[in-house]
Structure 1
């Protein structure tokens, strides 16, 4: 499959350049390059016609003054552009900013989650990804969510499945419903397979037998392996396994230690992913950092680079376009100082040098991009005010944090004062129509109050040591604007603006990273015990993670859907 098919004229020129009958647009003269097909570092001429590689080999062809001739230093080496096979491009950064950051690190393509776009934009999400494709230098393909927000909209689902920028369904979080015989879900999954699309699973801690049933349904890959044994389980059942290194699951070093040198692990069916990391993690630990970790763990250089190039290209059926340095492929590749340093010095994207000496050659007009983003993601929250009397809890079950994102229920005595590790937590409907109130344990005892429009459901989370504190922080958020606002016991305050739909920043990755890094530091100074507080806020309303969550239907147990407390409607007269 080709991402960007050639026009007839481009096709004719490509063949003519490959035969030396027409001068190339770019000539990398006698360059060292990694041949991922043979596993060798080779040296030869690389000729580019338009946006594709026309020739790789020893022969010198005629050129003209219009040919750009590049002579790299002897130590430098050309490698295929990296591929991020599993991305969530709306994690406080926005999809455009995500692409800028990825391209700078040599990832020429990411395969992205469309769930946030569906929730924020509905039917307009398709026009957004089309416009993004036109204005961004980074290539973005998409997977289509089919088991959550599009559950009842077969027409919209079919529209996404037919779109040329969509190459996968997923990530499949509601697989347990399929195994229990959910007919509607089975029919939707069958639609995806009939459209000849890949489907990716979300299978943390799932048994061999259940993965077997999921594999029979046509799920082709999973990124939730927690250890080497999990990887082996997936490989045995014919799935590809993406090894993850993210801010909340930095499992990669331990997984690599378990599989390095073991012949049972067929590395041709393994990929690397950062799985939508926090911004401050993204800047340091994307694909180049993962490749380096692989080599440090004992994988050969060619094995490590294949995990981020040829393997994901092959899995997605994109190896006619990406994954290697060869004729006919897109001219999307990286120039490194050496194979031991995967962070690129130069990045060519579709025949154009986008990064040179680690500097952006054609920076975007930030004001124009921000205006475009704001046209799609205006503020959507209806500002509401609360008084303490409106915050009424029901029941005596609260939420206890096990780690950044996993929770469990705990019991408290209603009406008793808060314990040292407890805070009140309120979920306020984005339209201001209802609240859901209980307690949270193990969050951060030094946080007097916190408000966040950054949540999986799009509603506003309010956490505080008193009902009055919750009301006050909400009022201040209304005045400052959407985002995360935290007040600490020492009197300090911190505000992270998220003006794009209340969930994304309009700033660049460095700005977002700095803000989130400071937020994480302040939270840990005030009692937060885990890695990434932003993900805790995000996933308190997520439906696919154990064990107890908040949503419009109430405080409920994920495993069986049992509702422990219902929302309280607000008097909005």
Structure 2
């Protein structure tokens, strides 16, 4: 189906009024459904919806006066008519897909609006990469709003990115048609300490009348938290418990509760509404990070809404958190988020408000999906060679690049170790006593090696450290060019030779994820666009991602969605311990620390 451009409200107002008054015929009328009204939090049976110019003209018990000889009619037959679902905070790149293929994957799940922060590609390609994401997003048949990335690097001085985002970049992007605000302000210490660059980015956003996204990844809820809120961020998705949620909404922030592929933070925070009775208007549901396997096999925002309901949330409240609440937060209440006159005609038909099967999806007045099948084209940008040739190692790596030399004369050593926490973004700062064999420190038991390989400037740099929690066994290695947020290459393994093989393989294919065991490649997910995304169909990428998960399990890993844990091991803005191109970083103090310590 051809995508029809959406007229603005001023361009369509005359006809909308005429259709509502019965002077003109609607393009489409949905008849006999239960109107899920997210403004009044009501279920209103036996209602019709009249649509013209891609917008809603009339909602009421009888829309026969809006029907003409060329009006398309859809019989709801008592099904629920739900506003199209909105993802309040997400990163398209985490789906391993370009915006077009991401849209193709989530439209059948009822997602018609997304608020996306492409800070992953910003770290690799800078403002040019953001513009490419923005432009392809604008081409889609659903609403993909872009937040201008704020923090590349996320923690200046603690990592080196391919490009840096400047206040001038932010000010320029605020004039682009699809920019809705500033992406998550991850450099919370910078805001707290009055960093001039961070405050300039926030000022450019607020001067444009747009929303500043937050990222406060700290358990401290006293003066530092207050200072961060005073700096301008209007929402936050890094809370993990009820106390976090309550603190944020009390200070005037929107609490974005996430259910991604590996982040399960809804259940622990929604009790602020279901048990403590806080006003749900300040709560928004989001995914943050969902990989392609989750999107294809489990769903997108429909999955999050179902999960919130299963956690005790009233279905109407859960739907508000995924429709009108994010729309209001971003200043788009008159455009999206509800089934009311003047808004974009984004409507889901579903026969069950709790299980939420997505039977028909309408976006901008067109049927875009039916019974799980996409019914519209999702156009692709012509991604240039500069976006496809981004893995530069400097030289072919060997096992010696992954050696960790031991102190002279020692036979054992104490190491600082990154501890993976299942289903959460934070890690633990652990210590382990490790053996020394032939002058090299070796992993033992649960502890294996991790390396960050520089891939933007061909420096040949490799930072080595240790990680615990994956459970890998035998001689294996896993490498990925998805390494939030600087997106160098992360290699985790039990054998240095396998680590070199995995890293070199990704250089050959232009980026992605690979797993080697005993000299053989078990899985490969090619991500040729910036080393982050594929422009292949989502089902194909998801199948390769499933094979990757199976390969991780075959190597002994039993963690839920361990790939997401792998990809965040270099995220130097979330406690406690991370790896970057400068070394091992203690995110509690934002300082580089030594890998090895003397035994007591």
TM score, norm. by length of structure 2: 0.85
Which blocks of at least 5 consecutive residues in structure 1 are unaligned?
Answer: 567-573
Distance apart, 1:479 and its partner CA? 4.7
1:240-259 alignment, distance < 5 Å = 240-257=254-271, 259=273
| Alignment match, 1:403 | 421
Distance 1:134 1:372 in 2: 14
> Residue deviations 1:125-150, cap 9 Å, x none?
35424531443122110112223348
Aligned equivalent of 2:74: 70
On the 8 A contact 1:494/1:519 being kept in 2, the answer is yes
The offset of 1:480, in angstroms, is 5.3
Q: Which residue of 2 aligns with 1:352?
A: 366
**Cα deviation code 1:412-463 (max 9, x no counterpart):** 5662444233333332221432222423232423352233222222322333
Instruction: Name which of structure 1's ranges 84-93 and 159-168 shifts more when overlaid on structure 2.
Output: 159-168
User: C-alpha separation between the residues in 2 aligned to 1:148 and 1:120?
Assistant: 9
**Change beyond 3 A, Cα 1:13–1:133:** farther
Report if aligned partners of 1:394, 1:565 keep a CA contact under 8 Å in 2.
Answer: no
For 2:230 and 2:504, locate their aligned partners in 1 and report how far apart those are by CA, in whole Å: 52
Q: Which residue, out of 553, 567, 570, partners 2:582? A: 553
Give the deviation of 1:160 after TM superposition.
1.4
Instruction: Kindly indicate whether residue 336 of structure 2 is the aligned counterpart of residue 322 of structure 1.
Output: yes
How far apart are the structure 1 equivalents of 2:117 and 2:134?
Answer: 15
Q: Deviations over 1:227-264 (max 9, x none)?
A: 2222111121121111211222213234335641432x
In structure 2, how many angstroms separate the alpha carbons of the residues matched to 1:514 and 1:255? 33
Contact 2:465 2:579 in 1 (8 A): no
Residues 172-223 of structure 1, C-alpha deviation per residue, up to 9 Å, x if partnerless? 1111222223233233323322222212221234333232222222222111
Q: CA deviation at 1:564?
A: 4.1
Deviations 1:349-379 (A, max 9, x none): 10111112332222447xxx3x724656312
Partner of 1:102: 106
Cα drift, residue 390 of structure 1: 4.5
Contact 2:463 2:581 in 1 (8 A): no
C-alpha separation between the residues in 1 aligned to 2:183 and 2:508? 38
Alignment CA distance shift 1:556-1:231 (3 Å): closer
Give the match for residue 563 of structure 1: 592
Is 1:386 the counterpart of 2:400? The answer is no
In terms of mean alpha carbon deviation, does 284-293 or 383-392 score higher? 383-392
Q: How many residues align?
A: 558
Which segment drifts farther, 301-310 or 460-469? Answer: 460-469
CA displacement 1:145-172 (0-9 Å, x = unmatched):
2233486623211011232312222311
Task: Specify the alignment match of 2:487 in structure 1.
Answer: 458
Question: Counterpart in 1 of 2:539?
Answer: 510
Residue 346 of structure 1 contacts residue 355 of structure 1 at CA under 8 Å; is this kept in 2?
yes
Distance 1:186 1:139 in 2: 29
CA contact (8 A) 1:330 1:350 kept: yes
C-alpha RMSD of matched pairs (Å) = 2.8
Task: Please state how far the C-alpha of 1:563 moved relative to its aligned partner.
Answer: 3.2
* Aligned partner of residue 299 in structure 1, secondary structure: coil
Counterpart secondary structure, 1:21: coil
Counterpart of 2:92 in 1: which secondary structure? coil
Q: Which moved more, 1:465-474 or 1:340-349?
A: 465-474
Describe the shift of the 1:167–1:233 C-alpha distance in structure 2 as closer, same or farther (beyond 3 A): same
Within 5 Å, which residues of 2 pair with 1:126-145? 127-145=131-149
Note if contact 2:167-2:197 (Cα within 8 Å) is conserved in structure 1: no
The equivalent residue for 2:26 is 24
Partner of 2:556: 527
Residues 417 and 520 from structure 1, CA distance in 2 versus in 1: closer, same or farther, beyond 3 angstroms? same
Equivalent pair of 2:401/2:462 in contact (CA under 8 Å)? no
- Asked if 1:192 is matched to 2:205, the reply is yes
Pairing 1:95-494 to 2, within 5 Å after superposition: 95-125=99-129, 127-149=131-153, 153-209=166-222, 210-257=224-271, 259-263=273-277, 265-283=278-296, 284-364=298-378, 369=380, 372-373=382-383, 377-382=387-392, 384-393=395-404, 397-403=415-421, 405=425, 406-408=427-429, 410=431, 412=434, 415-430=440-455, 431-442=457-468, 443=470, 444-456=472-484, 457-479=486-508, 482-488=511-517, 493-494=522-523
- 1:53 maps to 56
Alpha-carbon distance in structure 2 between the residues aligned to 1:161 and 1:271: 24
Contact 2:478/2:499 (<8 A) preserved: yes
| Distance verdict in 2 for CA 1:453–1:332, change over 3 Å | same
CA contact (8 A) 1:436 1:554 kept: no
Distance 1:237 1:51 in 2: 38
- Give 1:39's match in structure 2, choosing from 35, 41, 44: 41
Q: Which has the higher mean CA deviation after the structures are superposed, 539-548 or 145-154?
A: 145-154
Describe the SS at the equivalent of 1:496.
Answer: strand
Contact 2:25–2:71 (Cα < 8 Å) also in 1: yes
Separation in structure 2 between the aligned mates of residue 448 and residue 124 of structure 1, nearest angstrom: 37
**Corresponding residue SS for 1:272:** strand
CA contact (8 A) 2:39 2:338 kept: yes
